[in-house]
Amino acid sequence: MIFLKIAVLIVFLFSFSFSDEKKVNKKKYKNKKEINFNNDEDTDEYIKMFVNALNKLKIHYVDSVNESESIKSGIKGLMKNLDPYTKLLEGSSKESYDVLRKGKYGGVGIQLGLRRDTLTVLAPLEDSPAYSEGIYSGDQILMIDSTSTLGMTTKDAAEIIKGDLGTIVTLRILRPSTKKMINFDLERSNIRVKHVPYWGIDKDNIGYIRLTKFSKNAAKDFRLALEELNKNKVDGLIIDLRGNSGGLLNNAINILDYLCDRGETLLKSKGKAKRANKEWISRRKPVLDIDIPIAVLINRSSASASEIVSGALQDLDRAVVIGQKSFGKGLVQHMFDLNDTTTLKLTTAKYYLPSGRLIQKEDYLDNGFLTDGLDTKDSLFTTKGGRVVKGGGGIYPDVKTDIQKKSPYINALWREGVFLNFAATYVPVNNITIDNLSISKQILSDFKKFLNEYELEYYLPGEKDFEKIKQKISKSEFSINKFSKNISKQSNFNFFNEIEEYYSQLKLIQYSLPENQKWIKNGLLREMSRVVSGEKERIKVSLLEDYDYNKAVSILKNLKEYYTILEF
Q: State how beta strands 110-115 and 198-201 pair.
A: unpaired
Q: What are phi and psi of 483, to 5 degrees?
A: -65, -45
Among 128, 215, 269, 304, the active-site one is 304
Given this model, what pLDDT does residue 372 score? 52
pLDDT band at 25 (very low <50, low <70, confident <90, very high): very low
> DSSP assignment, residue 405?
P
Helices (H) and strands (E) in the chain, counts: 19, 21
pLDDT tens string 334-373? 989 888 888 899 999 999 999 999 998 876 555 444 555 4
pLDDT band at 9 (very low <50, low <70, confident <90, very high): very low
pLDDT tens string 156-210? 999 899 988 999 999 999 999 999 999 999 999 998 889 999 999 999 999 999 9
pLDDT at 451 over 60: yes
Given this model, what pLDDT does residue 117 score? 84
pLDDT band at 428 (very low <50, low <70, confident <90, very high): very high
**315 carries an active-site annotation:** yes
Among 139, 315, 372, 548, the active-site one is 315
Q: Using CA of residue 339, residue 340, residue 345, residue 346, what is the dihedral sign?
A: positive
Q: Which residues contact 415 (CB under 8 A, 6 or more apart)?
A: none
pLDDT band at 489 (very low <50, low <70, confident <90, very high): very low
Q: Of 20-34, 246-260, 513-527, which range is least confident?
A: 20-34
Q: Of 39-43, 57-61, 476-480, which range is least confident?
A: 476-480
pLDDT tens string 233-250? 999 999 999 999 999 999
DSSP 3-state of 217 = coil
Among 268, 325, 329, 540, the active-site one is 329
Q: What is the residue-averaged pLDDT of the chain?
A: 86
143, β-bridge pairs: 148, 172
Given this model, what pLDDT does residue 253 score? 97
Q: Of 4-18, 299-313, 450-464, 479-493, which range is least confident?
A: 4-18
d(CA 429, CA 431): 6
Q: Using CA of residue 143, residue 147, residue 150, residue 156, what is the dihedral sign?
A: negative
Given this model, what pLDDT does residue 486 score? 52
Q: What are phi and psi of 547, to 5 degrees?
A: -60, -45
pLDDT band at 536 (very low <50, low <70, confident <90, very high): very high
Rg (CA), the chain: 28
pLDDT band at 562 (very low <50, low <70, confident <90, very high): very high
DSSP 3-state of 180 = strand
Of 140, 175, 138, 145, nearest to 159 (Cα)?
A: 145
DSSP 3-state of 359 = coil
Q: Using CA of residue 162, residue 163, residue 166, residue 167, what is the dihedral sign?
A: negative
Q: What are phi and psi of 314, to 5 degrees?
A: -70, -45
Given this model, what pLDDT does residue 366 score? 55
Cβ burial of 208 (10 Å; 0-12, 13-18, 19+) is buried
**304 carries an active-site annotation:** yes
